[in-house]
Chain A
Amino acid sequence: MLTQGPAKKVTIYLNEDTRHHAGALHDAVMTFLMHKGVTGATATRAMSGFGSHRVLHTPKVEVLAEHLPVVIEFVETAAKVEEVLPTLYDMVSDGLIEVQDTTIVKVARKERNQPQPNPAHDRKSGPAKLIRVFFGEADRWNGEPLHEAIVKRLRMMDVCGATVYRGILGYGHKGHTHKSGLLHISRDLPIMISIVEAADKVEQVTAAIEEMLGDGLIVVSDVEMTRLVRSRPEGGANAGAHSG
């Protein structure tokens, strides 16, 4: 598994039609890298190119289009590169192999929706508070829409979730009706944000919202929360304990 920091990048230049045993060389190289457990490799077919044979391979000329270049690149740890390089050296009968030092900035891995069964839900239930905040769509906070500003702030405060609803009709203590219609496109429809949070954090959340809210209503009620969290495979040591 790759981590942030120094690593090696290997680039292999080949011809598309160079053979390796029965198949194409670039196929053989890719298969070999996968078998060796290289984290990832990319083979790219080039637009045009020339090599030591001094022939410009380009798709514009039919005869030359058969020898288009293929570039295979992969990034791996120095140890892994050491391991695969001798075999690559052997395999590449016509082409060029280059190794350079590189730095890995980010390794992000998105879990694929694989057919394997989903991990069990982690149920977290208990008493909590539901906060609803009412104001108008036209309300702003430092130039940005208030509902966006509040959600951003809540996110920063690590509040587990917030939903913004836009109403179609309503009025508040200011008394003017917020309404949308076909001929009357309103820019000041009612907005409600609902937030569910543990009771001990509610004071902190309402205080933050109060500070941002110019005019509006905050409503707090008791709720019973059942939170279903899909545990990640690597962090889910206790995932098997709850089957739900």
Chain B
Amino acid sequence: MPARTQGKILRLHFSERDRWQGQPLHEAIVQKCREMNISGVTVFRGLEGYGETGEMHERHLAGSDRPVVVVVVDTDERVRNCIPVFEGMITTGVIAMSDIEMIRVRKGLTA
């Protein structure tokens, strides 16, 4: 029976166009998560959306400005620790956090 633990899920919403130190923001965040030993991160790209500024984020003829969601899953403490880091990197966006129960399946680990 895999272990069940309490944890947090963090969702960061911003635009695909956002950059941090010349690099796409979502890539920078994933890299940062690796440095901070966060156990897993997934980046999703939406089809379209809008946020604080009210403008539509969608696919344009040249370039793309679609919404991006970064999902971070880890223990309460580690997720809380990385929030200030993300806050510093995101210029406009939303960070949402919720409680979760984690079930980790690692059957194929030996392969």
Interface-located stretch among A76-84, A107-115, A150-158, A207-215: A207-215
Give how many B residues have a beta carbon under 8 Å from the other chain's beta carbons: 30
Instruction: Say if the beta carbon of B108 comes within 8 Å of chain A.
Output: yes
Instruction: Say if the beta carbon of A28 comes within 8 Å of chain B.
Output: no
Q: Is the CB of A169 within 8 A of B30?
A: yes
A134-B41 Cα distance, complex, nearest whole Å: 10
Interface-located stretch among A1-9, A171-179, A236-244: A171-179
Instruction: Say if the beta carbon of A25 comes within 8 Å of chain B.
Output: no
User: With A167-B42, A171-B34 as given contacts, are A192 and B103 in contact (CB-CB < 8 Å)?
Assistant: no
Q: Write out the residue numbers on chain A whose beta carbons fall within 8 Å of the beta carbon of B45.
A: 167-168
Q: Is the CB of B108 within 8 A of A221?
A: no
Q: Is the CB of B30 within 8 A of A221?
A: no
Instruction: Say if the beta carbon of A229 comes within 8 Å of chain B.
Output: no
Q: Write out the residue numbers on chain A whose beta carbons fall within 8 Å of the beta carbon of B90.
A: none
**Main SS class of interface, A:** strand
Query: For residues 32 through 65 of chain B, which have their beta carbon under 8 Å from a beta carbon of chain A?
Result: 33-34, 39-45
Q: Is the CB of A221 within 8 A of B100?
A: yes
Instruction: Say if the beta carbon of B2 comes within 8 Å of chain A.
Output: yes
Instruction: Say if the beta carbon of B87 comes within 8 Å of chain A.
Output: no
Q: Is the CB of B105 within 8 A of A218?
A: yes
Q: Is the CB of B103 within 8 A of A220?
A: yes
Q: Is the CB of B42 within 8 A of A134?
A: yes
Instruction: Say if the beta carbon of A50 comes within 8 Å of chain B.
Output: no
User: With A168-B44, A170-B41, A170-B43 as given contacts, are A213 and B30 in contact (CB-CB < 8 Å)?
Assistant: no
Q: Write out the residue numbers on chain B whose beta carbons fall within 8 Å of the beta carbon of A217.
A: 40, 73, 102-105
Q: Is the CB of A134 within 8 A of B108?
A: no
Q: Is the CB of A215 within 8 A of B105?
A: yes
Q: Is the CB of B9 within 8 A of A221?
A: yes
Q: Is the CB of B102 within 8 A of A215?
A: no
Select one of B42, B104, B108 contacting A170, CB under 8 A: B42
Q: Is the CB of B26 within 8 A of A210?
A: no
Q: Write out the residue numbers on chain B whose beta carbons fall within 8 Å of the beta carbon of A173.
A: 39-40, 104, 106
Q: Is the CB of B105 within 8 A of A210?
A: yes
- Which of chain B's residues has its CB closest to A212's CB? B105
Query: For residues 78 through 108 of chain B, which have their beta carbon under 8 Å from a beta carbon of chain A?
Result: 98-108
Query: For residues 8 through 33 of chain B, which have their beta carbon under 8 Å from a beta carbon of chain A?
Result: 9, 26-27, 30, 33
CB distance from B9 to the nearest CB of A (A): 6
CB distance from A33 to the nearest CB of B (A): 47
User: With A177-B30, A210-B2, A219-B7 as given contacts, are A172 and B40 in contact (CB-CB < 8 Å)?
Assistant: yes
Chain A 193-232, CB-CB to B under 8 Å as 1, else 0, gives 0000000000000100010011111111110000000000
B residues apposed to A, CB below 8 Å: 2, 7, 9, 26-27, 30, 33-34, 39-45, 68, 71, 73, 98-109
Other A-B contacts than A132-B9, A132-B100, A215-B108, 9 sampled, CB-CB below 8 A, are A167-B45, A169-B26, A169-B30, A173-B104, A173-B106, A217-B40, A219-B7, A221-B101, A222-B99
| 15 A–B pairs (Cβ distance < 8 Å), ordered by A | A134-B42, A134-B73, A170-B40, A171-B41, A172-B40, A173-B40, A173-B104, A192-B44, A214-B108, A215-B107, A216-B104, A217-B102, A218-B104, A220-B103, A221-B98
